[in-house]
Amino acid sequence: MGRLRLSDRNSRSMGVGRLLAVVAGIVLALSGCGGAGRTPVGLRRVVLQHFWTHGTLFAGFYAADQNGYYAEEGLSVQMVEGGVGVDYLTPVAEGAAHFGYAGADELILARASGLPVRAIATVYRRSPSVFVALADSGITRPQDFIGRTIRITPQTATHFHALMARIGIHSSQYTEVVLPSDLDLFASGQAQVWNIYLNNFGVDLERAGYELNYVYPDDYGVHFYADTLFTNDALVANDPDLVLRFVRATLRGWTWAVENPSAVGAVVQHYAPGADARLEGEKMSAAVPLINTGEDYIGWMKPEVWEGMERTLRQQGVLTAAVNVDDAFTLQFLQAIYPP
Q: Are residues 85 and 103 in the same domain?
A: yes
Give the pLDDT of residue 29: 34
Per cent of the chain over pLDDT 70 is 89
Give the pLDDT of residue 278: 97
Closest to 235 measured CA to CA, from 91, 52, 73, 82 = 91
Q: Are residues 232 and 182 in the same domain?
A: no
Q: Are residues 202 and 258 in the same domain?
A: no
Q: Are residues 25 and 121 in the same domain?
A: yes
Cβ 54 vs Cβ 65: under 8 Å: no
Residue 9: pLDDT above 70?
Answer: no
CA distance 30 to 41: 15
Cβ 292 vs Cβ 261: under 8 Å: no
Residue 23: pLDDT above 50?
Answer: no
pLDDT band at 160 (very low <50, low <70, confident <90, very high): very high
Among 173, 196, 220, the domain-final residue is: 220
Q: Are residues 193 and 324 in the same domain?
A: no
Per cent of the chain over pLDDT 90 is 86
| CATH classification at residue 35 | 3.40.190.10
Q: How many CB atoms lie within 10 A of CB 22?
A: 12
Let me know the angle formed at the C-alpha of 66 by 298 and 61, rounded to the nearest 5 degrees.
35
Q: Are residues 106 and 245 in the same domain?
A: yes
Q: Are residues 245 and 207 in the same domain?
A: no
pLDDT band at 38 (very low <50, low <70, confident <90, very high): low
Q: Which domain holds residue 24?
A: 11-126+225-337
Please indicate, yes or no, whether the overall pTM of this predicted structure exceeds 0.75.
yes
Q: Which range has the worst mean pLDDT, 153-162, 268-277, 329-338?
A: 153-162
Q: Are residues 70 and 45 in the same domain?
A: yes
